[in-house]
Amino acid sequence: MIYPGRRAILVTAGIAPLALLLGVMAPAYWFIGLAALAFLLGLMLMDALIGWSVGSVEVICDAPTVVSVGSAFEIGTHIRFSRTPSGHVEVALGTSPLVEAVAGSRRVAAVSGSSAEARFELTALRRGESKTGPLWLRWQGPLGLMWAQRIRALDHIVVIAPDIRPVREHTAQMLQRDYSFGQVAQLQVGEGAEFEALTDYRPGMDRRSIDWKQSARHTSLLAKEYRTERNNTIMLAVDAGRAMCEPLAGVPRIDRAVSAALLTAFVALRDGDRVGFFGFDSHPRVASNAVSGQRAFALLQRVAAQVDYSPNETNYTLALATLAERLQRRSLIIIFTDFSDTVSAELMLHAVGTLLGRHLVLFVVMRDEELETVVETEPQEPADVTRAVTAAALLRQRRLVVARLRRLGVHVLESRFDEAGPALLNAYLDFKRRSLL
């Protein structure tokens, strides 16, 4: 494609009125204006031919294959011309709604001989497959009058996967953590719930572990040793409804929840527990059976990546009833959700009550820092007062729902979005220490 540039348009716009004025003031020389326009058209044609004579254009895309949601990444475009372009080269990259260009999607390419290069900084906003391209290229002729433009398709797809950076970042901490649940069962007096053996009582042991009946029979103090129960079932239930798709610091709540869930799943699998994944909104959407072993973490990643963003309201009754049918033994059910008022949470409270008789339930709720900021900010005008009152009412209803959940016997974990993963991991380890599973 060839089209006139800004310089050609301005020159044409300047010649036209001058030619008209010349025709009015000196009718005998009217042809001078026409000749000037014809000369300009000739220059534009020559500029276009020289600009188009670069020959074939080859584009190589340098982009990652997989990135984590919420992370920044870079896409490089390397352009090769058959001949050196006479003017500067501009590049525009087409992107999908799943990503956002940090500094725009247009660049002036760095030209070196017959090649040019441009790099784009992007941020992954949502999970899914982001198609890269097409790429628009344009360059000017030596006179700067005409643009030559070509479009090249880029057959590259960037897969935006759940964020597992917390898993990698906390690996060293988990290897050195001060709890007693490792790769092999360790005998710890007073820890765990499964009886292991009788041993001689030693100073420093918990006196509650003394078996008085056996001590009387053997005429010496004997204590019971316990070991941590393994092979527990952990079910990670992620709400994918409308409320969980709202952004929190630029990343949807559901992606924050998936990252925290995968971190806990990694540790639970490493400790010998069985982990399952369950995603729901108005209906159950994805589910996996409880799996064990560190190699099963890749399976949980694939299942978590299938949890899609949904505009539907969450149906807690159907989802939790379906989940209860899938569980054949006592399990720790970790539910990632969000609620803003007592009306939408009423059915959730009734549905959770059916799980408490058999299972241990933990709700993970991320604090709404935006509402808290509105409440704490000093109002400057009447509209600020209205917003603060509304935000305070929403926070009050949220606290009411949390209080009702705790009265039912549900464990509730409230934390900042950037602390949800470590906080949930600590809660899980605390449950194991207290033998609640």
CA distance 65 to 254: 22
Residue 187 has a pLDDT of: 39
Residue 170 tokens read as 């906390």
Unique residue bearing structure tokens 């699998």: 269
Are 330 and 197 part of one and the same domain? no
Query: With 60 as the cut, is the pLDDT of residue 81 above it?
Result: yes
Unique residue bearing structure tokens 């080859």: 58
Residue 231 Rama label (left phi>0; alpha psi -120 to 50; beta):
left
CATH number of the domain bearing residue 302: 3.40.50.410
Are 176 and 198 part of one and the same domain? no
Q: What angle do CA 317, 241, 249 make, to 5 degrees?
A: 140
Query: With 60 as the cut, is the pLDDT of residue 3 above it?
Result: yes
User: How buried is 321 (Cβ within 10 angstroms: 0-12 exposed, 13-18 middle, 19+ buried)?
Assistant: middle
The residue-averaged pLDDT of 314-338 equals 91
Are 14 and 55 part of one and the same domain? yes
The residue-averaged pLDDT of 340-357 equals 79
Which of 221-235, 260-274, 305-319 is least confident?
221-235
Are 251 and 149 part of one and the same domain? no
pLDDT band, residue 117 (cuts 50/70/90):
very high
301 and 262 in contact (C-beta within 8 Å)? yes
77's CB contacts (< 8 A; 6+ apart) are 59, 60, 61, 62, 91, 93, 109, 117, 118, 119, 120, 135, 154
% of the chain exceeding 90 in pLDDT: 23
Are 137 and 171 part of one and the same domain? no
221 and 200 in contact (C-beta within 8 Å)? yes
Query: With 60 as the cut, is the pLDDT of residue 229 above it?
Result: no
Domain residues for the domain of 173 are: 165-180+230-433
Are 210 and 234 part of one and the same domain? no
pLDDT band, residue 180 (cuts 50/70/90):
very low
Query: With 50 as the cut, is the pLDDT of residue 183 above it?
Result: no
Query: With 80 as the cut, is the pLDDT of residue 426 above it?
Result: yes
Number of domains in the chain: 3
Are 241 and 375 part of one and the same domain? yes
Query: With 80 as the cut, is the pLDDT of residue 257 above it?
Result: yes
Are 252 and 120 part of one and the same domain? no
The residue-averaged pLDDT of 20-46 equals 85
Enumerate the β-bridge partners of residue 251. 248
Amino acid making up residue 57: V
- Candidates 240, 297, 252, 321; CA nearest to 97 is 252
Are 176 and 153 part of one and the same domain? no
pTM for the predicted model, two decimal places: 0.70
Are 388 and 303 part of one and the same domain? yes
Is residue 415 helix, strand or coil? strand
Are 138 and 79 part of one and the same domain? yes
pLDDT band, residue 378 (cuts 50/70/90):
confident
Highest mean pLDDT among 134-138, 191-195, 298-302, 372-376: 134-138
**What's the CA dihedral at 198, 199, 205, 211 to 10 degrees?**
40
Are 174 and 247 part of one and the same domain? yes
pLDDT band, residue 189 (cuts 50/70/90):
very low
